[in-house]
């Protein structure tokens, strides 16, 4: 009776990567069918070892050449079938290979039946076999519980690898508290977690918005002598940004982006800028903008708005105004909306507005540009606080600051006149701007309507209203509101007509 030669077994196994996989396995099975002993004829130890090695070889080649896992399993089962037909009991190593094949082919429903079969044949599952099964029980908490119960039954102590498999299942099921309890359990047992164990806890910490724990996991990974993956670090940093954890962002941003070359995406940069703005940290905002520039992301108004908020919150008005200049250099034109956060910080504090104006003049004295948007914002801030004289004084500084007023300047000045109920100055400014070649906008004309309505004689309000209509545009709702309020207070018979006109524009009282 011939014995199966392991080299022949190997040769047919290797051939599966060179020619048709199914054909070669059939050839191997035909060969074994003619060379195998009759049923109930014991195999020699050498032949049993050959089969063990062949099964392992089959699995390894399937992994190496990325063969279909179901195909590898099919032929693994064929090998086992040949052995069983010959009446040869499977050895622990054979069961281990078959267990791995079932697991990798996602047939986890066959894992426990196979373990029960092992037990019925007096083969106790080894720790290695159970760990293999655990690895593929991530999606099945019930199966994992049964496997862990078998470990206890056979007196196998859990290892770091065992806990790593447990943690993967925990992470899959989003059991954050259980993950932390499991880490504590490992600590009590003196078992050092693997880096992948910490990584799964990190993922859960990010999912549950716990940046402190996420960064603790990164420290633990580093303590193992493993350099944390940049993606893991940026994942934790994003969690800190979303959760407004200023301390962590400030500590790690510059270290990771400049010193270690990590590349946060533009979304993370924007989140971090929001945190810098909320926590009044201009230096952090500057560091983040430096990263944006280094990585070549296009600047947007939003990037600079956060920086403006940061500088304004610390009354660093020189740097506030420098941001406007930086925006223009970056190809972004500041607008009234851009300046809104600064105006909100100035609020009702006249001394702060005066301080800001002094900062603007100081920039000019040091041969730095004074920005038109900043100039208009100061006039508007004085107007908002009923500081009419200061608003006009600021306007008078235009030449000194090297600024050419525009239509927004006129709008800010008209606001000051409306607050002061000063139509004389308003009309003078309006006409002086027209003479300077500045075409009034719908906003300017609407403000003139509102200004005229501050007087007992308000016929000119209709003049400016008609000018707006001639442009083919709609007057602002506020202009109609002021006019209707004035008509109502004066018992003017034109009130119904004005209301009808307002409603025709799509406005309602």
466: tokens are 């008609």
Q: What is the pLDDT of residue 143?
A: 78
Residue 41 lies in a domain: yes
Number of other CB atoms surrounding residue 468 within 10 Å: 22
Residue 439 lies in a domain: no
User: 3-class DSSP state for residue 198?
Assistant: helix
Residue 222 lies in a domain: no
Note down the domain range covering 16.
1-88
Q: What is the pLDDT of residue 32?
A: 45
Q: Is 217 exposed, middle or buried (0-12, 13-18, 19+ CB in 10 A)?
A: buried
Rounded CA-CA distance 253/258 in Å is 8
Helix axes 372-384, 317-329, angle to 10 degrees: 140
Nearest CA to 124 among 98, 153, 86? 153
Helices marked H in 109-159 — which ranges? Answer: 111-120, 127-135, 141-153
Q: What is the pLDDT of residue 130?
A: 79
Q: What is the pLDDT of residue 193?
A: 97
- Asked whether 281 and 250 are in contact (CB, 8 A), the reply is yes
Residue 38 lies in a domain: yes
- Asked whether 321 and 365 are in contact (CB, 8 A), the reply is no
Residue 62 lies in a domain: yes
Taking only the tens place, the pLDDT of each residue in 383-419 is 999 999 999 999 999 999 999 999 999 999 999 999 9
Number of other CB atoms surrounding residue 72 within 10 Å: 23
- Asked whether 12 and 33 are in contact (CB, 8 A), the reply is no
Rounded CA-CA distance 493/172 in Å is 74
b vs e for 359-394, b when ≥16 Cβ sit within 10 Å of the residue's Cβ?
bbeebbeeeebbbbbbbbbbbbbbbbbebbebbbeb
Can you list the pairs that 33-40 forms with residues at least 24 positions away whose Cβ atoms lie under 8 Å? 33/82, 35/2, 35/3, 35/4, 36/4, 36/82, 36/85, 36/86, 37/1, 37/86, 38/86, 39/85, 39/86, 39/87, 40/86, 40/87
Residue 381 lies in a domain: no
Q: What is the pLDDT of residue 20?
A: 44
The pLDDT averaged over each successive group of 10 residues in the chain (509 residues) is 39 40 44 47 72 74 67 74 73 77 69 76 78 74 81 84 90 93 96 96 97 97 92 96 96 94 94 88 88 90 83 88 90 90 90 96 93 96 95 97 96 96 96 95 96 94 93 91 94 93 88
The domain tally of the chain equals 1
State in Å, rounded, how far the first CA of the chain is from the last one: 106
Residue 36 lies in a domain: yes
Residue 149 lies in a domain: no
Q: Is 286 exposed, middle or buried (0-12, 13-18, 19+ CB in 10 A)?
A: middle
Rounded CA-CA distance 245/275 in Å is 8
| DSSP type of residue 194 | P
Q: Is 483 exposed, middle or buried (0-12, 13-18, 19+ CB in 10 A)?
A: buried
Rounded CA-CA distance 467/474 in Å is 11
Taking only the tens place, the pLDDT of each residue in 34-73 is 444 455 556 777 777 777 777 777 777 766 666 676 777 7
Q: What is the pLDDT of residue 349?
A: 92
Is 0.85 surpassed by the pTM of this model?
A: no
């Amino acid at each position: 009776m011939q014995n199966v030669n392991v080299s022949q077994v190997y040769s047919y196994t290797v051939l599966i990567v060179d020619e048709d996989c199914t054909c070669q396995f059939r050839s191997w099975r035909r060969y074994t069918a003619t060379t195998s002993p009759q049923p109930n004829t014991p195999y020699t130890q050498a032949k049993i070892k050959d089969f063990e090695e062949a099964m392992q070889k089959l699995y390894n080649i399937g992994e190496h050449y990325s063969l279909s896992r179901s195909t590898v399993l099919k032929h693994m089962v064929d090998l086992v079938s040949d052995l069983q037909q010959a009446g040869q009991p499977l050895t622990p190593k054979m069961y281990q290979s078959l267990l791995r094949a079932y697991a990798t082919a996602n047939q986890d429903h066959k894992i426990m039946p196979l373990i029960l079969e092992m037990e019925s044949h007096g083969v106790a599952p080894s720790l290695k076999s159970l760990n293999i099964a655990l690895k593929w029980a991530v999606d099945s908490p019930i199966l994992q519980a049964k496997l862990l119960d078998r470990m206890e039954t056979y007196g196998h102590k859990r290892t770091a690898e065992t806990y790593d498999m447990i943690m993967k299942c925990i992470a899959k099921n989003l059991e954050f508290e259980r993950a932390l309890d499991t880490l504590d359990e490992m600590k009590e047992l003196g078992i050092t977690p693997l880096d992948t164990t910490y990584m799964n806890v990190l993922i859960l910490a990010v999912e549950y918005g716990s940046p402190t724990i996420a960064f603790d996991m990164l420290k633990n990974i580093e303590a193992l002598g493993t350099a944390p993956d940049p993606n893991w670090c940026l994942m934790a940093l994003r969690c800190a940004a979303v959760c407004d954890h200023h301390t962590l962002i400030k500590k790690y941003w510059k270290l990771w982006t400049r010193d270690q070359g990590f590349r946060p995406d533009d979304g993370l940069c924007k989140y971090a800028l929001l945190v810098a703005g909320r926590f009044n940290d201009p230096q952090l905002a500057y560091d983040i903008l430096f990263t944006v520039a280094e990585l070549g992301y296009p600047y947007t108004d939003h990037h600079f708005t956060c920086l403006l908020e940061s500088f304004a919150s610390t009354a660093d008005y020189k740097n506030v105004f420098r941001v406007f200049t930086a925006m223009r250099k970056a190809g972004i034109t500041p607008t009234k909306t851009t300046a809104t956060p600064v105006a909100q910080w100035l609020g009702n504090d006249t001394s702060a507005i005066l301080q800001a104006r002094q900062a603007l003049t100081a920039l000019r004295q040091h041969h730095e540009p004074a920005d038109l948007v900043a100039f208009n914002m100061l006039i508007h801030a004085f107007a908002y606080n009923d500081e009419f004289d200061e608003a006009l004084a600021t306007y008078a500084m235009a030449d000194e600051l090297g600024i050419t007023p525009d239509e927004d300047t006129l709008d800010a000045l008209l606001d000051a006149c409306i607050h002061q109920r000063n139509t004389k100055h308003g009309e003078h400014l309006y006409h002086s701007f027209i003479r300077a070649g500045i075409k009034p906008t719908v906003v300017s004309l609407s403000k003139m309507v509102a200004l005229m309505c501050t007087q007992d004689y308000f016929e000119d309000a209709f003049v400016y209203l008609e000018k707006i209509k001639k442009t083919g545009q709609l007057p602002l709702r506020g202009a109609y509101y002021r006019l209707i309020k004035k008509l109502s207070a004066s018992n003017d018979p034109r009130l119904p007509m004005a209301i009808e006109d307002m409603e025709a524009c799509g406005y309602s009282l």
